[in-house]
Structure 1
């Protein structure tokens, strides 16, 4: 793991604070280019959401196989977390970002030209390894960006994820719309275009990365002082370059004495207990409240409401637009309203949204009437397997799906289930639609982007290089479980109970955050560390000015 990562805010408050307000357009451009990997991540996540129903049909997948196809990308993320920091230290941030961009392209080609399920899973897994771009981008941004823009620059990653998702939703919608009229598009190849068009943004990102400089902090660690000084001159006043280089050297000397083992002992020691509990709870809640279910399975979610295929894809476009708008709200408000306020309000709204979705689905019922069969026949759906169920009323979607699975093949079921639900459902859809859109808005204005801001602030430089990957690992595992089991949950628990579970997790997270989460707005990293660690070490008083590291003030193993 990386032993020397630290954002500009830890390089020396005196020197950096003078540069912070003078950062020009160069640092913004470098940060945006580095963060473009988040755009590609959002694109990739939304692409698979549109492709799932067609891939499931072509390769005749079970619910668990669909979950594996979608969730294997997060397994790639988890694997990459163990190596990314070391690679960044050895080869530099820029080279790793270039390698990641190339890996995305390889993943796209393998996925789009996959000849079977296994090959497609491998392609998706490789793309998951490339998802490390989010971590490396944040590392790069933290080492070139001014500290007073810390919250906004970190939150920009979430914005680009949502913009990437929106673009994918738009492309997927037009591809599905063209299915009925095109002679070259069909159910067996449309998913290849959904996954394959990502290659163009990948190439653009790779080309843009060639224009950014290497991280000045990494250059200093390699003894390339003049190059580091030149980079600092490009992102701030040249008169401060020498001072920043000296600050980085001092920070590196300090961190070199803080080994990975020492950091781990500190992180899991008694003084850091509150910080660690806060990070783990936040990571679990952020991943487990259902965002990846909605993002990676968006058309499937809307099909449960009874929408046609084309309408469900149209709703994903609206979904993507809502995500972009409310991520902009978060970026605008994170420094004004504060991290704690946005987190608590967001979790409360998420809980309400999921309860609304639960109520909508729970009050629905499904009737396989003769008129429903006529509607399906007009849509060219084979209704012969349904004849024995005519007149049957289903109180929930689980019973309906069980009967459909009994009479349709795995190839036909993904293509006809949406239309059958649409023809048979009686639902007050406003509760479901409100719930889904309110959830997306609340997530993207709160725990989505704010979590990474919190993590960048509560972990001091003494533990950050092991704490950030650990927190990302917890969040990735939480997200993976949602992606892996969402199709199984829909099939066995039903849409109502699935979203009710997400709502319960959000409410539990709200209660925990009420007690654990402090407000970090307008506080230096050093002050946050005093509030969370120093004041809770035995014998330390609130606001203590003692600068001894908390790991040295008490035995980490005690």
Structure 2
């Protein structure tokens, strides 16, 4: 977009829009993190073993992969805001149903419904933000999504800890005769309702409006974001970017008509999405309490450790917020990959020293528990100052207008499938081959991500969305 136009941007209105859109990120984080403190309750209520826990925890990922794939395409039909409103309703239904579930089957259904909302919010909030904010601050404001995701995770960890501590344990009775773990889900209904109501007060993406032929509506939104003269030139730019291949966006647009092959940019998006999960970050978010209890921490201390991880995650996100438009996307990804390789390797080494106690449980000798905790939190910082927010920033902006919805659909689907593979497999991997080998695998993935970024990723910092090539 024109730099002169960006200088006149109504940043107060832009900030309000971003604040509302990123409530979806908060819901994404809360819905993903709430499961962390409820696993003892699920085991007791539904008589679950390790495999059963993996399935119940991983159920959300089934919905998330479908939601991410469907949301990108649906957003081209009913709009970005329409998909976010649908996600808010799914979050609300999931929260109420998961807390009330009387069987594992019903709980899995509730989590799949929530997953549909998570998947939709994960891909649409970043693209909506990218399509309404000035290019000069796009990375910074798009990164707010990750700050809100981590805030949601940390909020879930904090709620879990407070409720479990107040009740005397996650399985102990709390209000209304119901155990604390059920209230951990029910409290999610409050931000879900706030999200839906807030969405009624923000505009639709002007790029979506132009794509469907409503240039007057797009100009009206852009006038509120910038001013009338700049709005008209922006509508013309958007129209021109669509004119070369002007038809309703469709999945087949991802195939290069000249070669008959999937566009290389699509493979880059898929690679970014998959590597973000192969480094194992959601093991920390989904299984943090279980992970630290496996090496000798008490339930209360493990839940406190989750909160610590959430706080340092926010610190990492804030660092990304300050650096993404200064250093650029690619340098931050490279720094993150290198940092995660070192810290994950340290965690793997620390877990390799674990010894069995008289009760059959594991513990880390000497100062190795401190080393593991420090390295794990350093890893979380490196992830959240790089791959956490930057992957979503790039997916929201790297695709040309014509294929943005479809590119997000495919990349988001790949991201959630990788998430499912890592998350569902973790409980079994803890047993065999063990934590050390499992974290060794995450270390190798982090190292491979460095070379992938160096070879395949192109910088998008400061490039107008209408100038994206692919």
The verdict on a shared fold, with TM-score over 0.5 as the criterion, is yes
Q: Which residue of 2 aligns with 1:185?
A: 174
| Kept after mapping to 2: 8 A contact 1:58/1:188 | no
Matched, 1:52 2:42: no
- Distance in 2 of aligned mates of 1:514 and 1:217: 31
Q: 1:54 to 1:527 in 2, by over 3 A?
A: same
Q: Does 1:216 align with 2:216?
A: no
Q: Quickly say closer, same or farther: Cα 1:297–1:121, change in 2 above 3 A.
A: same
CA distance in 1, matches of 2:235, 2:398: 25
Q: Is residue 2:332 matched to residue 1:346?
A: no
Distance in 1 (CA, whole Å) between partners of 2:411 and 2:462 is 23
Select which of 498, 501, 504 maps to 2:438.
498
Change (3 A) 1:262 1:115: closer
Structure 2 partner of 1:27: 14
Query: Which one of 127, 146, 162 corresponds to residue 134 of structure 2?
Result: 146
TM-score of the superposition, structure 1-length normalised?
0.77
**Which residue in 2 is equivalent to 1:446?**
386
Match of 1:67 in 2: 54
Is the alpha carbon distance of 1:80 and 1:266 closer, same or farther for their aligned partners in structure 2, counting shifts above 3 Å? same
Q: Residue deviations 1:446-491, cap 9 Å, x none?
A: 1111112333444333533322221222211111101111111112
CA distance, structure 1, for counterparts of residue 306 and residue 26 of structure 2: 17
Q: Structure 2 unaligned runs (5+)?
A: none
1:172 equivalent among 136, 149, 160: 160
Change (3 A) 1:94 1:339: closer
Aligned partners of 2:139, 2:156: CA distance in 1, in Å? 27
Shift of 1:181: 8.9
CA displacement at 1:331 relative to structure 2: 1.1
Does residue 284 (structure 1) correspond to residue 274 (structure 2)? The answer is: yes
**5+ residue gaps in structure 1?**
1-12, 369-385, 387-399, 401-419, 534-558
CA–CA separation in structure 2 for the residues paired with 1:266 and 1:71:
35
Native 8 Å contact 1:267 1:276 kept in 2: no
Alpha-carbon distance in structure 2 between the residues aligned to 1:56 and 1:518: 46
Residues 230-275 of structure 1 show CA distances to partners (whole Å, capped at 9, x for unaligned) of 2222111133233333333344444424863652321894887653
Shift of 1:40: 0.7
Of 307, 313, 331, 2:303 maps to 313
**Cα distance between partner residues in 1 of 2:240 and 2:467:** 20
TM-score (norm 2): 0.91
1:100 maps onto 2:87 in alignment: yes
- The count of corresponding residues between Structure 1 and Structure 2 is 465
Q: Contact 1:359–1:431 (CA<8 Å) still a contact in 2?
A: no
Q: Is the 8 A contact 1:229 1:241 kept in 2?
A: yes
Deviates more, 1:83-92 or 1:504-513: 83-92
Greater gyration radius = 1
Given the superposition, is the C-alpha separation of residues 299 and 38 from structure 1 closer, same or farther in structure 2, using an over 3 Å criterion?
A: same
Q: Work out which of the residue numbers 15, 18, 22 in structure 1 matches 2:4.
A: 18
Equivalent in 117, 122, 126 of residue 113 of structure 2: 126
- Deviation, structure 1 residue 279: 2.8
Offset of residue 55 of structure 1: 0.9
Alignment-derived partner of residue 427 in structure 2: 487
Query: Is the CA contact (8 Å cut-off) linking 1:23 and 1:236 kept in structure 2?
Result: yes
Change (3 A) 1:249 1:293: same
Name the counterpart of 2:291.
301
- SS state at 2:256 partner: helix
How do 1:155-170 and structure 2 match up within 5 A? 155-170=143-158
Q: CA RMSD in A?
A: 2.6
Aligned to 1:36: 23
Is 1:336 equivalent to 2:326 in the alignment? yes
1:83 partner SS: helix
Kept after mapping to 1: 8 A contact 2:50/2:428: yes
Q: Report what 1:516 is aligned to.
A: 456
Change (3 A) 1:249 1:520: closer
Contact kept in structure 2, 1:63 and 1:491, CA below 8 Å = no
Shift of 1:328: 0.5
- Whether contact under 8 Å (2:36, 2:286) holds in the other structure is yes
Q: Is the 8 A contact 1:21 1:148 kept in 2?
A: no
